[in-house]
Amino acid sequence: HKCVAKVKKYLKPFLLSQEKLQEISARLKKNMIQGLGKHTHHKAPVKMLPTFVRATPDGTEKGDFLALDLGGTNFRVLYVRVMEEEQKVLKMDSQICAIPQDIMRGTGEQLFDHIAACLADFLDSQNLKGQTLPLGFTFSFPCEQIEIDKSILIHWTKGFSCSEVEGKDVVKLLRDAIHRRADYDIGSVAMVNDTVGTMMSCGYKDQSCEIGMIIGTGTNACYMEEMKNVKRVEGEDGRMCINTEWGGFGDDGSLEDIQTQFDVVVDKTSINPGIHIFEKMISGMYLGEIVRLLLVKLTEDKLLFKGKTSEALLTPGRFETRFISEIEEQDRGLKNCQNILTELGLKWDSVDVRLVRLVCDTVSIRSAHLCAAALATIVNRIRENRGLDYLKTTVGVDGTVYRKHPNFSDKLQAMVHRLAPNCSITFLVSEDGSGKGAAMVTAVAQRQALSHLLEDSDSDRKEDEEEDK
Ligand code: BGC
């Protein structure tokens, strides 16, 4: 018992009260406004990037599309056929290509050649090489979007660090790579962040879905903002989907009060120190490492494993985030914990097992609560934007942490409910947002381009008529 009390002291900085979360939400709100502002954007840590997606699906979308999905450890290519009548995806074939570490950290040209080669293999296998299909590119990194088909990478996150890509138009890099091969071509391209794909794929099913959220390797959310508040894009009418890039919250030092010594180490030893501080307290790429650092410290201070560490425990990255989910499983958690500790070469007793579980619990609850604070900021904003006393809305969600952890979603939902009491939120787990969602964005973009064209030719015709008079 003495031991438990001592360990709890180490865990205390991870416990965030509801008041603290409210304060964090208020800070994020300020940051979001700063990110949207014309003259404040350049120094805003939360980038609030316009996506040029102005509408969610209306159910009339149809056609054949290719989709690419780059954002985690794997790269996927998909062929998606969307049918109008049944409002559903008729067919979806896909292929996964691994992205080896040396390509994740190599040159941009190597990366895009690899992508173009995977796409070529896939088109061959589907007999599609002769066609020029429109393509939705789910590229899950912060990009300054100039148009739906022009998107400049601001910086890499989540373990990628290819040279010569930051500051460049990703669509051009892709097209150049395809043209270098010269054995096939692609049609129009729509660039999609995974949050946007998630929102759009859920929006096809539930038209009140106007938020997309990812809690996986990285974390982020997007939502439909009023155009009049999107100061960096011309026009006052309607809405546009904004990719918040909330992972960057804290990059100006504003979260120092809640960062623990372990968060500081995780950031300093990452390949992008100082970038995506909020993400590093929340997402799958980092949670395991936070737990590992805590366990190392508790062992050093003789509160675990009788003070005897192991080589595995001392190795960065060896405590995987999926272990946390396994250890927190309701029935098999303690057994899983024993197996994991044994595999890490540690000699444990029953108190150690319980303490390790407590550490995992604490770290994952903090993550869920921080996400809740951020999501509450968004739903409260949408409600205020529309002058409503009460908002009913739907969030499309995806990501391994949200999907796989046994009680993450419950903890998150309970806290959002407390932080946004005037909102009722339906959570929809997205079915393949980065495939289907990317196709949806491409389809909506085509529908809108077409209606613009028609409007233009309409006004041309009117002008002609005027002149004729
Ligand atoms: C990226 C976002 C992305 C998120 C989830 C973050 O690291 O910056 O663009 O949406 O990860 O994949």
Residues 275 and 387 in one domain: yes
Is 434's pLDDT higher than 80?
Answer: no
The alpha carbon of 269 and the centre of ligand 1 are apart by a number of angstroms equal to 19
Is 464's pLDDT higher than 80?
Answer: no
Is 88's pLDDT higher than 90?
Answer: no
As a whole-number percent, the residues of the chain with pLDDT over 90 amount to 81
Q: Is residue 273 part of a domain?
A: yes
Residues 140 and 151 in one domain: yes
Q: Is residue 460 part of a domain?
A: no
**Parallel/antiparallel/unpaired status of strands 423-429 and 391-398:** parallel
Residue 140 CB less than 6 A away from ligand 1: yes
d(CA 290, CA 386): 39
What average pLDDT is seen over the chain? 93
Nearest protein Cα to ligand 1, atom 12: 218
Structural element, H or E, at residue 146: strand 143-147
* Whether the Cβ atoms of residue 47 and residue 152 lie closer than 8 Å to each other: no
Residue 396 CB less than 6 A away from ligand 1: no
Q: Return the amino acid letter for 71.
A: G
Q: What is the CA radius of gyration of the chain?
A: 24
Q: Is residue 197 part of a domain?
A: yes
Nearest protein Cα to ligand 1, atom 3: 140
Residues near 139 by Cβ (< 8 Å), separated by ≥ 6? 68, 70, 71, 151, 153, 170, 191, 192, 193
Is 85's pLDDT higher than 70?
Answer: no
Is 469's pLDDT higher than 60?
Answer: no
pLDDT at 467: 55
Which of 131, 103, 115 has its CA nearest to residue 177?
Answer: 115
- pLDDT category of residue 461 using cuts at 50, 70 and 90: low
Mean pLDDT for the stretch of residues 402-427: 97
Q: Is residue 420 part of a domain?
A: yes
Q: Return the amino acid letter for 407.
A: N
Residues 144 and 268 in one domain: no
Query: What pTM did the predictor assign?
Result: 0.93
Residue 61 CB less than 6 A away from ligand 1: no
Residue 71 CB less than 6 A away from ligand 1: yes
- Atom of ligand 1 at shortest distance to CA of 279? 7
Q: Is residue 467 part of a domain?
A: no
Residues 102 and 177 in one domain: yes
d(CA 439, CA 67): 6
Mean pLDDT for the stretch of residues 390-415: 97
Task: Kindly report the CATH number assigned to the domain that includes residue 250.
Answer: 3.40.367.20
Residues 71 and 162 in one domain: yes
d(CA 161, CA 163): 6
Residue 435 CB less than 6 A away from ligand 1: no
Q: Which of 141, 277, 287 to mutate for ligand 1's pocket (most ligand atoms within 8 Å of CB)?
A: 141
The alpha carbon of 46 and the centre of ligand 1 are apart by a number of angstroms equal to 12
Residues 299 and 403 in one domain: yes
59 burial level (CB within 10 Å; 0-12, 13-18, 19+): exposed
As a whole-number percent, the residues of the chain with pLDDT over 70 amount to 94
Greater confidence, 202 or 342?
A: 342
The alpha carbon of 50 and the centre of ligand 1 are apart by a number of angstroms equal to 15
Is 230's pLDDT higher than 80?
Answer: yes
Residue 408 CB less than 6 A away from ligand 1: no
- Atom of ligand 1 at shortest distance to CA of 214? 5
Nearest protein Cα to ligand 1, atom 1: 141
Q: Is residue 57 part of a domain?
A: no
Q: For residue range 343-352, what is the model confidence (pLDDT) as tens digits? A: 999 999 999 9
d(CA 423, CA 167): 39
Choice among 149, 169, 194, 251 that is catalytic: 194
* DSSP-H helix ranges across 344-437: 350-385, 400-404, 408-419
pLDDT at 58: 76
Range of the domain at 176: 63-205+432-450
Q: Which of 153, 158, 270, 271 to mutate for ligand 1's pocket (most ligand atoms within 8 Å of CB)?
A: 158
Residue 141 CB less than 6 A away from ligand 1: yes
Q: Is residue 464 part of a domain?
A: no
Tokens representing 157 are 């996150």
| CB-facing half-sphere around the CA of 208: CA atoms within 13 A | 11
The alpha carbon of 434 and the centre of ligand 1 are apart by a number of angstroms equal to 12
Q: Which of 165, 214, 277 to mutate for ligand 1's pocket (most ligand atoms within 8 Å of CB)?
A: 214
Mean pLDDT for the stretch of residues 28-50: 97
Residue 263 CB less than 6 A away from ligand 1: no
pLDDT at 460: 59
The alpha carbon of 161 and the centre of ligand 1 are apart by a number of angstroms equal to 14
228 is a catalytic site residue: no
The alpha carbon of 71 and the centre of ligand 1 are apart by a number of angstroms equal to 7
Residues 43 and 97 in one domain: no
Tokens representing 76 are 């996927």
Residue 51 CB less than 6 A away from ligand 1: no
Residues 138 and 262 in one domain: no
Nearest protein Cα to ligand 1, atom 7: 218
The alpha carbon of 142 and the centre of ligand 1 are apart by a number of angstroms equal to 7
Which of 260, 257, 262, 192 has its CA nearest to residue 220?
Answer: 192
Q: For residue range 232-290, what is the model confidence (pLDDT) as tens digits? A: 999 999 999 999 999 999 999 999 999 999 999 999 999 999 999 999 999 999 999 99
- Phi, psi for residue 133 in degrees, rounded to 5: -90, 150
69 is a catalytic site residue: no
Residues 242 and 334 in one domain: yes
Residue 392 DSSP symbol: E
d(CA 129, CA 127): 6
Residue 175 DSSP symbol: H
- pLDDT category of residue 446 using cuts at 50, 70 and 90: confident
Q: For residue range 91-115, what is the model confidence (pLDDT) as tens digits? A: 688 999 989 989 999 999 999 999 9
Which of 194, 196, 255 has its CA nearest to residue 400?
Answer: 194
Residues 187 and 105 in one domain: yes
Residue 280 CB less than 6 A away from ligand 1: no
- pLDDT category of residue 56 using cuts at 50, 70 and 90: confident
pLDDT at 465: 63
Residue 195 CB less than 6 A away from ligand 1: yes
Which of 131, 114, 111, 135 has its CA nearest to residue 123?
Answer: 131
Is 331's pLDDT higher than 60?
Answer: yes
Task: Kindly report the CATH number assigned to the domain that includes residue 142.
Answer: 3.30.420.40
Residues near 313 by Cβ (< 8 Å), separated by ≥ 6? 292, 295, 296, 299, 319, 344, 345, 346
Q: Is residue 14 part of a domain?
A: yes
Is 462's pLDDT higher than 80?
Answer: no
pLDDT at 444: 81
Report the domain count for the chain: 2
Residues 249 and 394 in one domain: yes
The alpha carbon of 140 and the centre of ligand 1 are apart by a number of angstroms equal to 5
Count CB neighbours of 159 within 10 A: 17
Choice among 158, 280, 411, 436 that is catalytic: 158
Q: For residue range 102-159, what is the model confidence (pLDDT) as tens digits? A: 999 999 999 999 999 999 999 999 999 999 999 999 999 999 999 889 999 999 999 9
Residue 107 DSSP symbol: B
Residues 287 and 254 in one domain: yes
